[in-house]
Structure 1
């Protein structure tokens, strides 16, 4: 039986591209962010929306590699692998970044759909003190957390850019 896996896929999908109860999904939120603010920050020390998207990609690819059994793959917190340097200066670059995010998410769906049953969810992730069920629920929580950050950045920059024409009324 794959009941838990199906529920994880449903939750991943709802948060990523669906209609979660709390508001916008990841992709809906990103579709509302104009590329010209994708590389801006509210304060100099904070991350941009583009950097957050790069960070989401990093952790989705981490999940992919672990699901594929790649024992050697790891991400050190606060490293360039965790927070890659991402700059977006055109609509094309913004669209490419979002496509990379969708591709990483799609690969997770593909690997989960290949699972024969839910037993892998109780298996430990190689080199970690947690199992695959915990990792996948973490990816869901991670998306929700960063949707909030993106929304905050968007609302703050929207106030700054209101007269620039970036945001349409």
Structure 2
């Protein structure tokens, strides 16, 4: 298995289907919860839907680099999303989250070793490899928050 295939599989694990590192993944945690649970806030923390949208924001942003060669996302906007207002909106978001993740994984697994070491848009951001690894680690960090929030909310119901 190539390094690119390994990276794509690691991203799939944290978002779509893995259990090796955290014994869960975003899809497992989010797919069967009601939008009201996903949007319930436990002050002062972000809610589950905001954390999921935050991770999706970066997945979309990295995918855009493959399409346009431009990094158009900014950290300062990475938590700014319109509120989810219905079950239908929640399900639409999740469908897009899963689809965009799979699209990005497809792009990653088709990269050569040389492409992985190329600069990611600008030298200051490091390589594609560094950014993909960072995305995976970032996703696990927030997955832990999602798991804890979900447990807290479900326990209070």
**Fold conserved (TM > 0.5)?**
yes
Q: Is the contact made by 1:51 and 1:86 (CA closer than 8 Å) also made in structure 2? A: no
Shift of residue 69, structure 1, vs aligned partner: 4.7
Using the size of structure 2 for normalisation, the TM-score is 0.88
Structure 1 counterpart of 2:87, from 74, 78, 91: 91
Structure 2 counterpart of 1:104, from 91, 94, 100: 100
Superposition misfits of 4+ residues, deviation over 6 angstroms: none
Distance 2:121 2:150 in 1: 37
Structure 1 counterpart of 2:116, from 100, 121, 137: 121
Shift of residue 105, structure 1, vs aligned partner: 0.4
Shift of residue 75, structure 1, vs aligned partner: 2.4
Q: If you compute each CA radius of gyration, which structure gives the higher value, 1 or 2?
A: 1
Matched residue, 2:53: 54
Distance 1:105 1:39 in 2: 22
Gaps of at least 5 residues in structure 2 are none
Q: Is the contact made by 2:8 and 2:106 (CA closer than 8 Å) also made in structure 1? A: no
Distance 1:103 1:11 in 2: 16
1:29-53, Cα deviation, whole Å (9 max, x unpaired): 112432211111110x421111112
Q: Is the contact made by 2:51 and 2:142 (CA closer than 8 Å) also made in structure 1? A: yes
Gaps of at least 5 residues in structure 1 are 162-169
In terms of fraction of residues, the more helix-rich structure is 2
**Paired residue secondary structure (2:126):** coil
- Does 2:127 match 1:131? yes
1:84-111, Cα deviation, whole Å (9 max, x unpaired): 3232232211111101111220220232
